[in-house]
Amino acid sequence: MIKTNKIGIKNVDFGKNVSIVEPVNMYGCKIGNDCFIGPFVEIQKDVEIGDHCKIQSHTFICELVKIGNHCFIAHGVMFINDLFQEGGPAGGDKAKWKSTNIGNNVSIGSNATILPVRITNDVVIGAGAVVTKDITEPGIYVGNPAKRIRSKK
């Protein structure tokens, strides 16, 4: 016997003028006004996405993520909420999960990985970057771990 869970779009609080390209998995989240969600995106419960955001295909946004206004999340970006602090996955023990807060006017390049951090306003994260620590100054960040290479112009 095969057990399947069909989620699709369930219990989502949508703002005005939201565009979605299916298939997607979106459940228990909040999407702001004038947002675009591309195909093959998963947005889990308790995620909040601000106004005027674009989430490109194949992106995974796990629980405990908040994204500000006017943000661009490119293809294949992965958000992480479990740091494997005890040597393995926390599983369903949400007390061990950590949150991520993304400011306004943040662009995150393709295939970046965002660990539980805070990212201030006006930041660009380069493609393939791995953000392991809070970003408190506007600018452009690249690499693994992500480091500031210059201020944002």
- 65 vs 47: CA distance, rounded Å: 5
70 classed as catalytic? no
Neighbouring C-beta atoms of residue 39, cutoff 10 Å: 12
CB 12 within 8 A of CB 26: yes
Q: Which of 52, 58, 70, 75 is the catalytic position?
A: 75
Strand partners, 27: 10
Give the per-residue SS3 of 43-95. ECCCCEECCCCEECCCCEECCCEEECCCCEECCCCEECCCCCCCCCCCCCCHH
Would you state the structure tokens that stand for residue 39, as one six-digit string? 């195909």
Q: Give catalytic residues, as residue numbers.
A: 75
